[in-house]
Amino acid sequence: MILICTMANRHGTYKSLINQSHKTIRFRSKENRSTCVYHEYILVVKMPKSKRDKKVSLTQTKKKGLEFKQKIIEDVQACCDKYKHIFLFSVHNMRNTHLKEVRQSWTGSRFYFGKNKVMALALGRTQEDEYKDNLHKLSTQLRGQSGLLFTNKSKKEVLSFFDEYRVPDYARSGNICQQTVMLDEGPIPEFSHSMEPQLRQLGLPTCLQKGVVTLRNNHTVCEQGNILTPEQARILKLFGYKMAEFFVTIEGMWSSNGKWELIADRPDPIVPPKVTIKAKPRKEEDEDEMEDDEEEIEDDEEGT
């Protein structure tokens, strides 16, 4: 783009055609035409903001406004009239796929998860504005990753199902290590030679011996009680070790007769404090898993 600039000082008025890509401009003085004296200046040319340059969002997602929240309130209150029991539950090591499986197992019931403030507003935050008797006691317990289960099944059926429902899954960065995980020295033929530099970059003491990935000495991946780092989480996943468990804890029950009951902590499974793992046989297409894990780890860090 070509601009015409004018500058005045004690030597006179200068005009010049300026190419925007050039930072140094030479102006010729009218008073010194015979000697052809030029003066150099450094200019920063900033174009005005175009009125036609408007940012248009291509997303078709609509904002969830007041109407969406009002619908949740109406649905929750309708479920209070339809079902005999409301169970308060909390989710540990949340995974959407596992939660969908739980929903499919309870087709005759209704789950509400998330939007704690909206659900508390539907139930009633105080005794004066509660929808039914003692629902305000339930609403005060809604915090964190909590949800509501509306069902006509008995307390015994609900507790027996969720006490046994535990799904192993890969631990993510930011989780607390449940065990001390060790790796023994020696060859790891499950990994191809091309992955050795990547394993070494994760902190494993590896080398190539006759084309086979080998651990030079025993290695502690993580220690019990410490926070799992992204590198440690990737190592556990590469070795196929699922340290975390998805499970649901029932914390309270409200009945249609107005009775509210807090449920004591359920028994936790026995986990060995220390374990030594070995790599599982890997498929050829899994060799590129490292690249896929990088995006996953970044998402985990944003979530934590």
List, for residues 220-258, the tens digit of each pLDDT value: 999 999 999 999 999 999 999 999 999 999 999 999 999
State residue 222's pLDDT score. 92
Residues 110 and 149 in one domain: yes
Residues 163 and 74 in one domain: yes
Looking at the chain, the whole-number percentage of residues with pLDDT higher than 90 is: 41
Mean pLDDT of 83-88: 94
Residues 259 and 147 in one domain: yes
- Domain of 16? 2-42
State residue 152's pLDDT score. 94
Residues 257 and 162 in one domain: yes
Residues 13 and 157 in one domain: no
Residues 86 and 156 in one domain: yes
State residue 265's pLDDT score. 73
State residue 44's pLDDT score. 53
DSSP the chain: -EEEEEEEETTEEEEEEEETT-SEEEEE-STTTTTT-EEEEE----PPPPSS--------PPP--HHHHHHHHHHHHHHHHH-SEEEEEEEES--HHHHHHHHHHTTTSEEEES-HHHHHHHH-SSTTT-SSTTHHHHHTT--SSEEEEEESS-HHHHHHHHHH-EEEE---TTSBPSSEEEE-SEE-TTS-GGGHHHHHHTT--EEEETTEEEESS-EEEE-TTSBPPHHHHHHHHHTT---EEEEEEEEEEEETTS-EEEPPPPPPPP--SEEEE-PPP--GGGGGHHHHHHHHHHHHHHH-
Most confident of 32-46, 47-61, 62-76, 192-206: 192-206
State residue 159's pLDDT score. 92
Residue 214 lies in a domain: no
State residue 273's pLDDT score. 72
State residue 291's pLDDT score. 44
Arithmetic mean of pLDDT over the chain: 78
Residues 36 and 80 in one domain: no
State residue 9's pLDDT score. 47
Residues 154 and 26 in one domain: no
Whether the predicted pLDDT of 120 surpasses 50: yes
Whether the predicted pLDDT of 287 surpasses 80: no
Residue 147 lies in a domain: yes
State residue 84's pLDDT score. 94
Residue 229 lies in a domain: no
Task: Give the confidence band of 79 by pLDDT, cuts at 50, 70, 90.
Answer: very high
Mean pLDDT of 277-300: 49
Q: Which of 43-47, 92-96, 172-176 is the least confident region?
A: 43-47
Number of domains in the chain: 2
State residue 61's pLDDT score. 67
Looking at the chain, the whole-number percentage of residues with pLDDT higher than 70 is: 70
